[in-house]
Structure 1
């Protein structure tokens, strides 16, 4: 990864038409930004540091910037960016929950997101489901300790289960397509669309599903979509999979259901309060996240650090679509 203090300039700058500041960029992303920027006539100035009030001036001279989802873009940062002449932010993510869109609009900044391969998250979701129902965490831990006995709890086969998919956008739909190959019963729920096959009310979905998997955006309406009441409605022994956003689940209620043994397990690529923990090397420090610590102690809970999207294919999509979003904004201003 690039040092958080370093600024990486292209060693052989292209002949640019438009400048763009790229924040929170790793070495692999930087190479793609240079390659694709040159092709599109964009000249990226790249830093590994997250965008903040202190480095907003790096964007001066251009109207567009690109940021990642790993760090919240504060209101003071948005104001500093506006004062530096920024009018458009491309976030290299599907979600906007790390940016206050109303305040951005108030200071004259438009915000756009990117689409990327839904297969990245869909593949990962199926992997987590299979690992959860086959008790992969405890199997691997026991084997690492040279305990080669079979688990006391046998695994389950997906074809024998009902899977509830909450959110039927591009990623949720890709998950559904994969599940059909396993022969399981699929229920769906989406607040915005009822067109998907198997659509049922959310309370019915959580009450009938052996696995509930979340693929809906985080909004004020979907925060704690799986709250204590809905978690208590879930089937005894059911599993929760979340590759969407951490706050879709009431973590305290989930912990209670897991620690009591009422639920069969959980596989979480995202968690409430992950900011400052995920993407950091904390091997020699305090995590400072009690709920995460308790979850990781449980043998039937899998945790990964918001990495479901992280594939080579998706990264190319993210970089290209971030640049295209900036280019479209610039072209719209010129017309």
Structure 2
């Protein structure tokens, strides 16, 4: 099987080449993202491996089908960038990586909380300039604070366990309650109660029509003054304009985002020598109480190895018409 990869970086090639020693597929890598502009490079490929910001709409899928592509393997958990109805109509099988070290993302979410709270990033820069003053660096104890977790799948569950280890009170919201978390004393509550009672709110749910702009002007109005919001899931969960208004009014005290609604134009690229025309992200980064990381939460050795293994295993199962050990990996 020949697999053409898009949106690849050196670390992708390193881990996929290593894992592929067990599969013996023919791998072809392109750094550019997948879209109508690059389809001409696909020649005699059986499968395409795509990432979070690649475009897999009906137009692209129809072109891939005409080129003989039978499989789409997403090396990520999210699939909002794929027209699944079109894929089904065209007979293209689609897989994803539903779980690839949920602890990696959960730990990054907690790292963002600690960084925003204790201002370690600012302290680091100060000390390097021989400024040992503590003025402006005061934080608060996480102990006995209330942390709201929206979405308790694999990542949300891992995060809730970490947060509980700090001695915080954990409130959770999900359409399906996790009995393991309930046994640990974590309380499931209605969304409005989670919003109103939480000092910190961490988002761990997928992006769907029902969760698009979950954090908007109305939901922010229900939150505590000086609330901290963390998003390591999908940028579209947050209405960025509403959050900026919340920051300006000081209703939102802290914001940590590893994802951004328009990130496909920015993230995974070195833009240090260019002028960024996105005024919204520039405005966000101008706030001293906002921390932005560039879709880094998944980025651990363990997660990258699991992503490569799961992706190539899925394609092997498709090719051999085998059943999947994890049915959640199959989208079409």
Query: Could you tell me how far 1:249 is from its partner in structure 2?
Result: 1.1
Instruction: List alignment gaps of at least 5 residues for structure 1.
Output: 1-17
Aligned to 2:201, what secondary structure does the other structure show?
strand
How many pairs does the alignment contain? 317
In structure 1, distance between residues paired with 2:3 and 2:165: 43
- Distance in structure 2 (CA, Å) of the matches to 1:295 and 1:232: 19
With 25-34 and 199-208 compared, the bigger mean Cα shift is at 25-34
- Does structure 2 conserve the Cα–Cα contact (< 8 Å) formed by 1:34 and 1:43? no
CA deviations 1:79-106 (Å, max 9, x no partner) are: 2111011121011110012222222223
Helix, strand or coil at the partner of 1:160: coil
- Measured against aligned partners, the alpha-carbon deviations of 1:141-198 in whole angstroms (never above 9, x if no partner) come to 5445544321346211111311001110111111111112111100001124364421
Tell me, yes or no, if the aligned pair for 1:137 and 1:300 is still in contact at 8 Å: no
DSSP-derived class of the 1:56 partner: helix
- Give yes or no for the alignment of 1:188 onto 2:177: no
Contact 1:21–1:58 (CA under 8 A) maintained in structure 2: no
| 1:134 corresponds to 2:123 | no
Q: Kindly tell me: are residues 225 and 100 of structure 1, through their superposed partners in 2, closer, same or farther at Cα, counting changes over 3 Å?
A: same
In the alignment, does 2:139 pair up with 1:158?
A: no
Q: Which residue matches 1:249?
A: 238
2:73 paired residue number: 90
Residue 44 of structure 1, aligned match among 27, 41, 59 = 27
Output one character per residue of 1:103-129: Cα deviation in whole Å (capped at 9) or x when no partner. 222333222111311111111111111
Note the C-alpha offset of 1:73: 2.9
3-state SS of paired residue (1:121): helix
Partner residue in 1 for 2:195: 206
**Alpha-carbon contact 2:284-2:290 (below 8 Å) kept:** yes
Report if the CA contact (8 A) 1:57-1:84 is conserved: no
1:60 shift after superposition: 4.2
* Worse-matched range after superposition: 87-96 or 97-106: 97-106
User: C-alpha distance in 1, partners of 2:136/2:27?
Assistant: 55
User: How far has the Cα of 1:283 moved from its partner?
Assistant: 1.7
1:178 corresponds to which residue?
Answer: 162
TM-score computed with the length of structure 2 as normaliser: 0.89
Q: Normalised by the size of structure 1, how large is the TM-score?
A: 0.88
Partners of 1:207 and 1:199 lie apart in 2 by 14
1:103 alignment partner, one of 86, 104, 120: 86
8 Å contact 1:65–1:326 — kept in the other structure? no
CA pair 41-281 structure 1, distance change in 2 beyond 3 A: closer
CA positional deviation for 1:215: 0.4
1:313 pairs with one of 302, 306, 309: 302
Aligned-pair Cα RMSD in Å: 2.1
1:192-271 pair list within 5 angstroms: 192-193=176-177, 195=179, 196-197=181-182, 198-271=187-260
Change over 3 Å in CA distance of 1:153–1:311 after alignment to 2: closer
- TM-fit CA distance, 1:136: 3.3
Residue 333 of structure 1: how far off its partner (Å): 7.7
What is the CA–CA distance in structure 1 between the aligned matches of 2:71 and 2:177, rounded to whole Å?
Answer: 30
